[in-house]
Amino acid sequence: MLLSQLVLDPMREQGGGAIVNMASSGGIGFESYGSPEYGAAKAGLIRFTASLASLERSHAVRMMCVAPDRIGLSRAQAQWERMSADERAASRPLIPPAEVVSVVLSLIHEGVGGAVVEMWGGEQPVVHAP
């Protein structure tokens, strides 16, 4: 959030640009989340992105957000390996990091300001755009 705020003035002066904030699936939905502070912060980042996006349209700054579920980085892979077969079967697969990168690059090149992309392991990304 702070980084977005810091780059807004220079981006306006240069005629616009794209900001892609990284949230998390932990900030989506209404069910309880194991880390309330983390979930609240990520939900706030999603709302921050959507709110600022509407204010920045006149400056040609496109603010967007990606909210992935668990990404297949080393920490998540280690957790996955510790899960029982039943736990793994009841969970969505980890999202390959390259898929997250692909979504971010797509937003930078052609995304609509205010777009929020939900990424759930094993499913196509869901784009919410104004």
Q: Residue 62 in 3-state DSSP?
A: strand
Does 72 or 1 have the greater pLDDT score?
Answer: 72
38 in active site: yes
Percent over 70 (pLDDT), the chain:
100
Instruction: Please state the rounded mean pLDDT for residues 100-123.
Output: 96
Catalytic residue among 22, 38, 92, 130: 38
**In this predicted structure, what is the pLDDT of residue 68?**
97
Residue 59's pLDDT band (boundaries 50, 70, 90)?
Answer: confident
Contact 23, 44 (CB under 8 A): no
Q: Identify the H or E element spanning 128.
A: strand 126-128
Domains and CATH numbers, the chain: 2-128 (3.40.50.720)
**In this predicted structure, what is the pLDDT of residue 19?**
95
pTM for the full model?
0.88
